[in-house]
Amino acid sequence: MAYNFLSLVNDVALRINETQLTSGNFSTATGFYPQIKEAVNSSLRHVNQAHFFWPYNHNTEEQVLEAGTSRYALPDNAKYVDFGSFRVKRDTDLNVGQGKKLQQLTYAEYLDVYIDQEYETDSTRGGVPRNVVRTPDQEFIIVPQPNAAYEIEYEYYMEPVDLELSTDIPTIPDQFRHVIVDGAMYYAYMFRDNIEMANISQSKFENGIKQMRTLLVNENAYFRAF
């Protein structure tokens, strides 16, 4: 069975005795279907906000630097950027013999010691990146100012966007589809003022999230006798 926005909406529709949608009428469906779509997205938002570092929301970003440019924007969907993961990639053509982690500087340290690099007009000055700085406005700064198209890589956790198209696929793995549907049922019953069924669905939903946290997040250390 497909796993996308359409199938999740139909899972909810089936439970509340509504007609199944198709890819052809998904975008134009009226009646209770807009509420079902919102219920699915509300469930997804709830799950994604229940834990900050769900592994399925982990991404790796690559950035090609520009000679003479110090500041770069972080991804629009970045919820948390791991500044300890910044590294310059190996590039023998640019005299980077091996990949190397960039050391983080505070913004105050940057302003005190390195701010003049932003006023340098000679793009050939600078060098291989050694440090990275987090700015207050969702950007990062490379020190020294790059003098070539070095490539850096870093990791971050994204904030998923709402589903819109029938073919949109959640970041949450298919194995937890039932958790999404239980959450959507809670919101759907709330839309219908069925408090009793909403409470039952909420209990199942919260238990499902706990199970997700156990399977995906919790780390247990085991000791073995030799």
Q: Which region among 33-37, 131-135, 193-197, 214-218 has the lowest average model confidence (pLDDT)?
A: 214-218
Residues 64 and 30 in one domain: no
Place of tokens 């219920």: 39
Task: Label residue 223 by pLDDT band (50, 70, 90).
Answer: very low
Indicate whether 219 pLDDT > 60: no
Does residue 37 lie within any of the structural domains? Answer: yes
Instruction: Determine contact, residues 189/201, Cβ cutoff 8 Å.
Output: yes
Domain range for residue 47? 5-53+172-216
For residue 171, what are its two tokens? 């970041």
Domain tally, the chain = 2
Q: Report yes or no on 226 lying in a domain.
A: no
State the average pLDDT over residues 14-32: 95
CB 143 within 8 A of CB 129: yes
Residue 149 sits in the same domain as residue 60? yes
Q: Which amino acid is present at 146?
A: P
The reply to whether 43 and 65 lie within a common domain is no
Spatial separation of the C-alpha atoms in residues 23 and 1, rounded to whole Å: 14
User: Residue 226's pLDDT band (boundaries 50, 70, 90)?
Assistant: very low
Query: By the 8 A CB rule, do 6 and 29 touch?
Result: no
pLDDT of 177 strictly over 60 = yes
Instruction: Copy the structure tokens of residue 28.
Output: 């134009």
pLDDT band, very low/low/confident/very high, at 83 (cuts 50, 70, 90): very high
| Token pair 């990146």: residue | 129
Range with the poorest average pLDDT among 28-37, 63-72, 89-98, 168-177:
89-98
Do 112 and 182 lie in one domain? The reply is no
pLDDT value of position 222: 44
